[in-house]
Amino acid sequence: DIQMTQSPSSLSAFVGDRVTITCRAGRSISSYLNWYQQKPGKAPKLLIYAASSLQSGVPSRFSGSGSGTDFTLTISSLQPEDFATYYCQQSYTTPWTFGQGTKVEIK
């Protein structure tokens, strides 16, 4: 199985801050990397697919980059509605694995 490791596991930030979350794959997954946002008690929501493509309807303050084993999700200016847990997921090979999550909290 490809292990996906996110860092940090949690972070505190102010509204307006630039936030970066990192995801590292156990081996190269090319650009088969996706990002989801999950709010408490809700289903996950797709933000970014194929490492850097913005899902329709997702605000442009979200962006993704990377390839191979190292990827980042950036929120350019954190908004109140962005406080949530973020997961990366590889779609390169079965089983399709997720990172452990990064919880973004209000500072």
Partner 1 sequence: QVQLVESGGGVVQPGRSLRLSCAASGFTFSSYGMHWVRQAPGKGLEWVAVISYDGSNKYYADSVRGRFTISRDNSKNTLFLQMNSLRAEDTAVYYCAKDAGFGDILYYFDYWGQGALVTVSS
Residue 15 or 26 having the CB closest to partner 1: 26
The whole-angstrom separation of Cα 35 and Cα 40 is 17
Q: Are 44 and 37 in contact (CB under 8 A)?
A: yes
Residue 20 or 55 having the CB closest to partner 1: 55
Residue 44 or 68 having the CB closest to partner 1: 44
Which residue type, as a one-letter code, is found at position 52? S
- Shortest spacing between CB 45 and partner 1, in angstroms: 7
Applying CB under 8 A, the residues found at the interface with partner 1 are 32, 34, 36, 38, 42-46, 49, 55, 87, 89, 91, 94-101
Strand order in the sheet with 33-38: 10-13, 102-106, 85-90, 33-38, 45-49, 53-54
- Shortest spacing between CB 16 and partner 1, in angstroms: 28
Q: Are 86 and 78 in contact (CB under 8 A)?
A: no
- Shortest spacing between CB 22 and partner 1, in angstroms: 16
